């Protein structure tokens, strides 16, 4: 079968809400936002969950300022580097990197506003390697009745 030669990059918890701070999960498992990506045969690269790796499943909610220390930045950079290396390999072989999906207001995976620590390190590396990709964020609100609207926005933002 022909592959799509397209990939999208997602924050870990978009596919696995079991990794978020307890009790902040907003789905049993994966977010419904991935449906249009699956429908179009686009591959999904799941980023690691830096907070899980740093403080585990019993961590408490923390702010960007509380996370922003040398050890956490170093961990985020260390986690981001191999992903960027993989993306370079995809690019070198003419794959399309369709977009990046983060989590708005997360101290780690927020993209706009107060940028999270991991996204800050990851995006710095992407810029350094001249990898420009569309970005999309899952809003911080209750999502139950918003999926259709969000999916439409995602399709437009990623032009898929």
Interaction between residue 10 and ligand SF4 (CB under 6 A)? no
CB under 6 A: which stretch of 13-21, 68-76, 125-133, 143-151 binds ligand SF4?
13-21
CA distance 52 to 12: 10
Residues 25 and 18 sit within 8 Å (Cβ to Cβ): yes
The token pair at 16 is: 């696995």
Interaction between residue 49 and ligand SF4 (CB under 6 A)? yes
The token pair at 89 is: 């390999």
Least Å distance, CB 106 to ligand SF4, is 4
Which 87-146 residues touch ligand SF4, going by CB under 6 A?
Answer: 103, 106, 108-109
**Residue whose CB is nearest to ligand SF4 in the complex, by number:** 13
Residues 18 and 35 sit within 8 Å (Cβ to Cβ): no
Interaction between residue 34 and ligand SF4 (CB under 6 A)? no
For residue 28, which of 139, 143, 105, 137 has the smallest C-alpha distance?
A: 143
Least Å distance, CB 109 to ligand SF4, is 3
Interface with ligand SF4 (CB under 6 A), residue total: 13
What's the Cα-to-Cα distance from 93 to each of 141, 151, 160, rounded to whole Å? Answer: 38, 28, 20
Q: Using the rule CB under 6 A, which residue among 6, 8, 9, 12 binds ligand SF4?
A: 12
Residues 84 and 9 sit within 8 Å (Cβ to Cβ): no
Interface contacts to ligand SF4, rule CB under 6 A: 11-13, 19-20, 49-52, 103, 106, 108-109
């Amino acid at each position: 079968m022909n592959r799509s030669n397209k990939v999208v990059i997602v924050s870990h918890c978009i596919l696995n809400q079991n990794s978020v701070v307890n009790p902040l999960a907003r789905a049993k498992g994966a977010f419904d936002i991935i449906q249009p990506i699956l429908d179009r045969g686009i591959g999904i690269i799941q980023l690691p969950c830096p907070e899980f790796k740093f403080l585990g499943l019993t961590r408490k909610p923390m702010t960007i300022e509380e996370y922003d220390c040398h050890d956490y930045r170093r961990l985020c950079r260390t986690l981001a580097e191999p992903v960027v290396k993989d993306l370079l390999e995809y690019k070198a072989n003419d794959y399309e990197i369709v977009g990046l999906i983060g989590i708005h207001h997360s101290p780690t995976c927020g993209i706009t506003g107060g940028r999270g620590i991991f996204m800050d390190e990851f995006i710095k590396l992407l810029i350094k390697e001249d990898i420009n990709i569309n970005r999309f964020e899952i809003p911080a609100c209750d999502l139950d009745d918003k999926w259709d609207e969000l999916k439409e926005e995602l399709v437009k933002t990623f032009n898929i």
